[in-house]
């Protein structure tokens, strides 16, 4: 059983955030209380995967954590001969993800892999999902990661990309941050937890602005890009090859 997120509840010398065994233990509670609309985003990504899955193709869940998006996609795939490849570079996440997926039955095979998405071969893909993962990749490697995804997609294939974003100006950014912190407060996080978590993620998670995301997807060659969700500084896009 996973528990309640109290990782930053006590005052501490805050270390860089990492997806270790302690985070795995509380991850469902942490992400649910930290990302507005997380459940809606995961279920909609499943619907979109069902819509864009092609027969005889692969669907990828990059930065799969405990496999929430994999499960959601798997529930919605109706095409024949599809396979899901779920990848994460946290050993603790991958171990728990395998246990988690094993608890549900499905005809769609899932391969959970420990690996780095900056170093992954993608081919014959109809759907590539990245639900809040690109933000942890160093900014100077994001173009290469997305280009690799584009090259591995079949025509008509899609990337499903969710990201925390920064506002287009400092004023807009502060407005979004304030709204997000209110959301976290409302979900029971204290001022200390909010501020220590902010410190923990500032060196490891560097969000881009929405305009940066859209320009980069366009530059790579995605022709149809649609924002289908935004609440505060959390945004989900679909882009079609």
Ligand X SMILES: Nc1ncnc2c1ncn2[C@@H]1O[C@H](C[S@+](CC[C@H]([NH3+])C(=O)[O-])CC(=O)[O-])[C@@H](O)[C@H]1O
Ligand Y SMILES: O=C(O)C(=O)Cc1ccccc1
CA–CA gap between residue 14 and residue 17 (Å, rounded)? 8
Could you say whether residue 197 binds ligand Y (CB under 6 A)? yes
Q: Tell me the Cα Rg of the chain.
A: 17
Residue 117 among known ligand-binding residues: yes
Residue 96 among known ligand-binding residues: no
Q: Binds 93, which of ligand Y, ligand X, none (CB < 5 to 8 A, cut-off by type)?
A: ligand X
Closest-approach residue to ligand Y (CB): 34
Closest-approach residue to ligand X (CB): 63
Could you say whether residue 70 binds ligand X (CB under 6 A)? no
Q: Which stretch binds ligand Y (CB under 6 A): 29-37, 73-81, 165-173, 212-220?
A: 29-37
CA distance readout (Å), 53 to 48, 77, 130, 237:
8, 7, 15, 17
Residue 131 among known ligand-binding residues: yes
Coil/strand/helix, residue 189: coil
Provide, rounded to whole angstroms, the least separation between the CB of residue 85 and ligand X: 12
Could you say whether residue 164 binds ligand Y (CB under 6 A)? yes
Provide, rounded to whole angstroms, the least separation between the CB of residue 160 and ligand X: 10
Residue 157 among known ligand-binding residues: no
Closest by Cα among 61, 60, 9 to 30: 9
Could you say whether residue 217 binds ligand X (CB under 6 A)? no
**Segment 75 to 114, residues that bind ligand X, using CB under 6 A:** 87-90, 93
Contacts of 15 (CB under 8 A, 6+ apart): 200
Q: Are 107 and 40 in contact (CB under 8 A)?
A: no
- Select the residue interacting with ligand Y from 201, 214, 220, 231 (CB under 6 A): 201
CA distance readout (Å), 91 to 49, 68, 120, 138, 236:
26, 17, 16, 20, 26
Could you say whether residue 34 binds ligand Y (CB under 6 A)? yes
- Select the residue interacting with ligand Y from 24, 30, 85, 165 (CB under 6 A): 30
Sheet (strand 234-240) strand order: 110-114, 82-88, 57-62, 125-131, 153-164, 234-240, 224-231
Could you say whether residue 118 binds ligand X (CB under 6 A)? yes
Could you say whether residue 100 binds ligand Y (CB under 6 A)? no
Q: Which segments are annotated as binding site?
A: 38, 63-65, 88-89, 116-117, 131, 198
């Amino acid at each position: 059983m996973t528990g309640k997120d109290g990782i930053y509840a006590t005052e501490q010398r805050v270390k860089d955030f990492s997806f270790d065994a302690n985070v795995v233990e509380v991850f469902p509670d942490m992400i649910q209380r930290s990302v507005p609309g997380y459940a809606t985003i995961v279920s909609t990504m499943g619907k979109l995967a069902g819509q864009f899955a092609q027969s005889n193709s692969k669907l990828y869940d990059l930065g799969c954590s405990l496999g929430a998006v994999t499960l959601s996609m798997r529930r919605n795939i109706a095409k024949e001969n599809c396979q899901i490849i779920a990848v994460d570079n946290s050993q603790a996440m991958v171990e728990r993800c395998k246990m988690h997926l094993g608890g549900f039955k499905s005809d769609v095979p899932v391969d959970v892999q420990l690996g780095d998405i900056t170093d992954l071969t993608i081919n014959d893909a109809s759907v590539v999902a990245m639900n809040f993962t690109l933000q942890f990749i160093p900014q100077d490697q994001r173009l290469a990661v997305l280009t690799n995804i584009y090259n591995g997609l079949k025509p008509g294939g899609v990337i499903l990309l969710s990201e925390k974003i920064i506002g287009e100006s400092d004023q807009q950014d502060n407005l979004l941050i304030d709204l997000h912190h209110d959301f976290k407060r409302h979900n029971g996080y204290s001022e200390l937890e909010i501020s220590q978590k902010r410190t923990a993620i500032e060196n490891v998670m560097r969000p881009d602005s929405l305009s940066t995301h859209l320009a980069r997807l366009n530059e790579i060659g995605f022709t149809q890009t649609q924002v289908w969700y935004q609440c505060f500084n959390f945004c989900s896009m679909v882009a079609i090859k």
